[in-house]
Amino acid sequence: MDTVFAGLSQGFAVALNPINFFYVIIGCFSGTLIGALPGIGPINGVAILLPIAYSAGLPPESALILLAGIYYGAEYGGRVSSILLNVPGDAGAVFTTLDGNPMAKKGEAGRALSLSAVASFIGGTISVILMTLFGPLLASVAIHFNPSDYVALMVFAFTCLASLVGKNPIKTLLAAVMGLMIASIGIDANTGVARFTFGIPDILAGIDFLVIVIGLFGMGELITLVEHQVTGKLAVLPVGKSFVSWKDLMVTKWVILRCSLLGFFIGVLPGTGASVASAVAYGTEKRIAGKSGESFGTGDIRGLAAPEAANNGSAGGAMVPMLTLGIPGSGTTAILLGALLLFNVTPGPLMFVQRPEIAWGLIASMYIGNIALLIINLPLVGFFARLLTIPQKYLTPLIAVLAFIGVYSVVSNPFDLYMIIGLGVFGWLLRKLGFSLAPVILGVVLGNLFEDNLRRALSISGGDWMILIESGRSIAIYVLTALILFVPPLVSSLRRRAATNAATSEA
């Protein structure tokens, strides 16, 4: 407990430093803005702005504070376009449209926006508190992990991805393997052998992480935007004067609490972020509500509060494994992890000890950021609503310009400009075919860590593969992996059987 308080006080010293405080506010503000723009979510926002933060020469803790602010700010802002436009800002906000938009149609947009802001705030704050408590704890356990435990963790991470993210587990797995394959391009660090470079000097050092991220998420998004461009104006529903009442909060308080916790724990699972969290939260609350849950989908405030609390809870949860294990908890944290590596900071159990200003500075900044977001979001919601009307015809070219600036200012190699265009087309195709892109980026980020640990483990054992299942810790992780793999299908088949039984007994 002492370490937590000492760490927090150090963290607040970093986060309250005027410059960093400024970055928290800027990050939260631009995050909300990015989240509010229809189509652009946290992952695209962070991807596009990361290289600019990098080449602007910020110190690592400031850059991370800024980028994290954009991340959870965008989780906050995603609700605005969901509620007012019925167009989710990103995958995590899909479930917000279900009850948020009907409320806005009833003329209760103000109430929906303010209630979801409060739910987001509570979800975010609960997850930061849990992060403060569990982060150092997990780090102190993880410090004893050996290479074979890390291999087990990686297997766990990819299993979580495959079984929880996306509709088709095999496609998700293939996407992750593609990421791992991309990561294997370049010179092998252990032996100096070039792999898959085909003699092209530009990729000897591997394909730059920034290039992959900007290509897949920046350019891919741009092509998707052009594809879906709607001719004519989207109708933005008026915000109106209605506001959240004390009674609303009382009705939803348990929903918000439950979903915040749920969101946090789903966020902690490697690879599963806001979209899974909000989907599970919505489904669970609907089931808990029972008979009265029939109003879900028609403007029920519980159905609005649940996904919002969960997706903001997951943002904090996803940071925990990223900071303590170096394994990102979601697609966006995979990019943040890549950002840390760019700054020569290795996330992992030692970070709390070696670079406390970064780990604790980030945590402290999230307390401040959440409060700032609530303050920004309640009165300024009308302003963000007006931004929704920024025409796509201007927004789309600007995304490309930002991506070009980002890539060029970091690597200054025109070859990479062609590379992002190619990757953008590839990313668009993958999405078209029902693949999700987050596993790809997770594969890219984890590729070297996975391979290095595997090789190190086998070096320790002298080539004996049994070392992978020798320690109690790795066996425990494999058991968890099996649970993740087999429990969800089992539960759903049991439920189906129960449902058919009930149906036959009623008949």
Partner 1 sequence: MADRIFGSIALVISLIYGFIAFTIIKAPFQYDPLGPEAWPRILSVVAALCCLYIIARPDGQKFKVLGHTLTRIALVVFFLSAYAVLFERLGFIVSTALFCGVLSRMLGATAKQSVLFGIASGILGYGLCAGLLDLNLPTGAIFKNLKLL
- Please state the φ and ψ torsions of residue 194, each to the nearest 5 degrees: -80, 135
The Cα–Cα gap between 243 and 239 comes to 10
Nearer to partner 1, 130 or 411 (CB): 411
* DSSP result, 226-288: HHHPPSS---PPP--S----HHHHHHHHHHHHHHHHHHHHHHHSTT--HHHHHHHHHHHHHHH
Closest to 131 in 3D by CA, of 257, 319, 295: 319
Minimum distance from CB of 226 to partner 1 (Å)? 5
The Cα–Cα gap between 120 and 306 comes to 9
258 lies in the site for partner 1, by CB under 8 A = no
Q: Of residues 219, 244, 334, 359, which one binds partner 1 by CB under 8 A? A: 219
The Cα–Cα gap between 438 and 43 comes to 9
- Torsion, Cα 151 161 337 8, to 10 degrees, reads -90
Which residues, in sequence order, are CB contacts of 135 under 8 Å at separation 6+?
320, 323, 324, 352, 359, 363
Stretch that binds partner 1, among 108-116, 286-294, 334-342, 394-402 (CB under 8 A): 394-402
Minimum distance from CB of 288 to partner 1 (Å)? 32
167 lies in the site for partner 1, by CB under 8 A = yes
Nearer to partner 1, 459 or 501 (CB): 459
Q: Of residues 174, 257, 341, 371, which one binds partner 1 by CB under 8 A? A: 174
229 lies in the site for partner 1, by CB under 8 A = yes
Nearer to partner 1, 194 or 236 (CB): 194
Minimum distance from CB of 166 to partner 1 (Å)? 11
The Cα–Cα gap between 195 and 507 comes to 64
455 lies in the site for partner 1, by CB under 8 A = yes
Minimum distance from CB of 156 to partner 1 (Å)? 16
Nearer to partner 1, 3 or 396 (CB): 396
Stretch that binds partner 1, among 92-100, 141-149, 449-457, 489-497 (CB under 8 A): 449-457
Q: Please tell me the count of residues contacting partner 1 according to CB under 8 A.
A: 63
* DSSP result, 49-77: HHHHHHHTT--HHHHHHHHHHHHHHHHHH
Minimum distance from CB of 112 to partner 1 (Å)? 31
The Cα–Cα gap between 111 and 96 comes to 14
177 lies in the site for partner 1, by CB under 8 A = yes
Which residues, in sequence order, are CB contacts of 399 under 8 Å at separation 6+?
40, 48, 218, 221, 222, 225
Phi-psi region of 198 (alpha: psi -120 to 50; beta: other; left: phi over 0): left
Q: Of residues 389, 459, 492, 493, which one binds partner 1 by CB under 8 A? A: 459
Q: What angle do CA 270, 316, 129 make, to 5 degrees?
A: 125
CB 90 within 8 A of CB 81: no
Stretch that binds partner 1, among 1-9, 110-118, 179-187, 251-259 (CB under 8 A): 179-187
493 lies in the site for partner 1, by CB under 8 A = no
195 lies in the site for partner 1, by CB under 8 A = yes
Q: Of residues 1, 18, 57, 505, which one binds partner 1 by CB under 8 A? A: 57
Q: Of residues 2, 231, 250, 291, which one binds partner 1 by CB under 8 A? A: 231
Residue position matching structure tokens 């993958």: 430
Query: Which residues of 350-484 form beta strands (DSSP E)?
Result: none
The encoded tokens of residue 98 equal 């279900």
197 lies in the site for partner 1, by CB under 8 A = no
Minimum distance from CB of 281 to partner 1 (Å)? 26
Q: Of residues 8, 454, 480, 485, which one binds partner 1 by CB under 8 A? A: 454
Q: How many CB atoms lie within 10 A of CB 294?
A: 11
The Cα–Cα gap between 309 and 304 comes to 9
Sign of CA dihedral 480, 481, 485, 486: negative
- Give me the residues paired with residue 319 across strands: none
In angstroms, how far apart are the furthest CA atoms of the chain? 71
Minimum distance from CB of 400 to partner 1 (Å)? 6
The Cα–Cα gap between 88 and 38 comes to 6
Nearer to partner 1, 129 or 174 (CB): 174
Residues 414-433 that bind partner 1 (CB under 8 A): 414, 417-418, 421, 424-425, 428-429, 432-433
Stretch that binds partner 1, among 145-153, 167-175, 304-312, 326-334 (CB under 8 A): 167-175
Minimum distance from CB of 43 to partner 1 (Å)? 20
The Cα–Cα gap between 309 and 253 comes to 11
- Please state the φ and ψ torsions of residue 195, each to the nearest 5 degrees: -120, 130
> Residue 285, exposed/middle/buried by CB under 10 A (0-12, 13-18, 19+)?
buried
496 lies in the site for partner 1, by CB under 8 A = no
Nearer to partner 1, 238 or 397 (CB): 397
Q: Of residues 8, 26, 178, 249, which one binds partner 1 by CB under 8 A? A: 178
Stretch that binds partner 1, among 259-267, 290-298, 303-311, 385-393 (CB under 8 A): 385-393
134 lies in the site for partner 1, by CB under 8 A = no
Minimum distance from CB of 191 to partner 1 (Å)? 4
Q: What residue ranges bind partner 1 (CB under 8 A)? A: 52, 55-57, 167-168, 170-171, 173-174, 177-178, 180-181, 184, 188, 190-193, 195-196, 219, 222-223, 226-227, 229, 231, 391-394, 396-398, 400-401, 404-405, 408-409, 412, 414, 417-418, 421, 424-425, 428-429, 432-434, 450-451, 454-455, 458-459, 461-463
